[in-house]
Amino acid sequence: RAMAVFVTRRIPAEGLRVLSEAAGYAPSGVGRRGMRGAGWSPAPLTALSRRCRVQQWDSEEPVPRRELLAGVAGKEGLLCLLSDRIDGEVLDAAGPSLKVISTLSVGFDHLALDEIKKRGIRVGYTPDVLTDATAELTVALLLATCRRLLEAAAEVKTGGWTTWKPLWMCGYGLSGSTVGIIGLGRIGQAVARRLKPFGVKNFLYTGSQPKPESAAEFQAEFVSLTKLAQESDFIVVTCALTPDTQGMCNKNFFSRMKKTSVFINTSRGAVVNQEDLYDALVSGQIAAAGLDVTTPEPLPTDHPLLKLRNCVILPHIGSATYATRSTMAVLAADNLLAGLRGERMPHELLL
């Protein structure tokens, strides 16, 4: 009997594949360990449906909870997105048949890992293949925020541009600055690597432990969160959301930052206490913030943060290049298939 799989979203894989082939290049990470060659494999869902009985929530919109609970029942595999909360209730609804969960994301804070581990379920995810795209977006957001690109472009359209003025639309530049990275993982390192050529003078980092090997390339200094807040001109958050990092960037943290400093988050919204960030931005405690992630997502269009000139908010597009999303989809399908066969997954989360 073919294994049964539930897929929580329409993944227009064929379209993604065609577009990324048209772009003519693949992001780094493609063709590495576990991926099929350097080329593009067939549309991931085609590969899946050749080998499994696939039931899919065939919509651009998130699967309603009710449909998710019904969809997973009796399935061996689940392919989900970061917008699906996979908790004990979902696992109970799936029942003992569920062997593998494959998420189309590097983040796994939406998965109740202790419940998953208790049931002996394996988990696949998509690191590496999105590192470049996410680091690139992080740098773009940092520059857009510190050089006030969105604000300035809006002035051009609304007639605010009257003449060249010495201090008008001034911001803060990277050259000679100190950058603090919270979470010097794959993405954090890729951000530092990209920022170095801008003339950043010092890199500081913090995390659960020092990572001398990762830090060596940037001569990055491991410091406490407090010291990082006090000494950085730019702070970039690229850590995973865990119980330890939840709400870590709070009032106390922002109060130690320089008034001229800029805060960037491309990890998860919940690492930040958003009300405290709002207060810090309004009171001038910090200069500006750029967020690719918020609480909740999407952020309601009347949210107070959206009214601030010194806050740039993007709709969680860190990994959003055609090539990267295509590769993520292939990897998620490969993870799922390998897991269902009882083989080593290209990228398995070790629980």
Active site residues: 316
The footprint of ligand GLV on residues 304-323 (CB under 6 A) is 318-319
Q: Where is 19: in which H helix or E strand? A: helix 13-23
Toward ligand GLV, which CB reaches closer, 171 or 318? 318
> Which positions from 129 to 158 touch ligand GLV by CB under 6 A, shown as an x/- string?
-x----------------------------
The minimum distance between CB 130 and ligand GLV, in angstroms, equals: 6
Q: Which of 144, 127, 143 is nearest to 240 (CA)?
A: 127
Burial (CB < 10 A; 0-12, 13-18, 19+), residue 301, is exposed
Toward ligand GLV, which CB reaches closer, 228 or 287? 228
Token pair for 16: 């993604």
Toward ligand GLV, which CB reaches closer, 102 or 319? 319
Q: Which residues contact 274 (CB under 8 A, 6 or more apart)?
A: 294, 295, 305
Toward ligand GLV, which CB reaches closer, 72 or 187? 187
Specify the stretch interacting with ligand GLV by CB under 6 A; choose among 55-63, 186-194, 203-211, 304-312. Answer: 186-194
Q: Which residues pair with 123 in a beta bridge?
A: 101, 349
Which of 185, 207, 290, 346 is in the footprint of ligand GLV by CB under 6 A?
185
The minimum distance between CB 316 and ligand GLV, in angstroms, equals: 6
Write down the residue that tokens 């080998």 correspond to.
51
Token pair for 276: 């405290």
The minimum distance between CB 187 and ligand GLV, in angstroms, equals: 3
* Binding flag, residue 31, ligand GLV (CB under 6 A): no
Token pair for 277: 């960030």
**What's the angle, vertex CA 237, arms to CA 236 and CA 241, rounded to 5?**
180
Q: In the Cβ-directed half-sphere of 266, how many Cα atoms lie within 13 Å?
A: 29
Cα distances (Å, whole numbers) of residue 322 to 27, 76, 142, 203: 10, 29, 22, 31
Which of 105, 138, 145, 245 is in the footprint of ligand GLV by CB under 6 A?
105
Q: Which of 282, 272, 203 is nearest to 239 (CA)?
A: 272
Which of 17, 186, 325, 347 is in the footprint of ligand GLV by CB under 6 A?
186
Q: How many helices (H) and strands (E) does the chain have?
A: 13, 14
> Which positions from 243 to 282 touch ligand GLV by CB under 6 A, shown as an x/- string?
----------------------------------------
Which of 238, 245, 324, 327 is in the footprint of ligand GLV by CB under 6 A?
238
Toward ligand GLV, which CB reaches closer, 161 or 222? 222
> Which positions from 60 to 99 touch ligand GLV by CB under 6 A, shown as an x/- string?
----------------------x-----------------
In this structure, which amino acid lies at residue 318? G
DSSP 282-315: HTTSSSEEEES--SSSSPPTT-GGGG-TTEEE--
Q: Which of 256, 326, 308 is nearest to 43 (CA)?
A: 326
* Binding flag, residue 106, ligand GLV (CB under 6 A): yes
Task: Report the DSSP pairing between strands 122-124 and 348-349.
Answer: antiparallel
The minimum distance between CB 273 and ligand GLV, in angstroms, equals: 19
* Binding flag, residue 187, ligand GLV (CB under 6 A): yes
The minimum distance between CB 332 and ligand GLV, in angstroms, equals: 10
Name the residues that contact ligand GLV, by CB under 6 A: 82, 105-107, 127, 130, 185-188, 238, 318-319
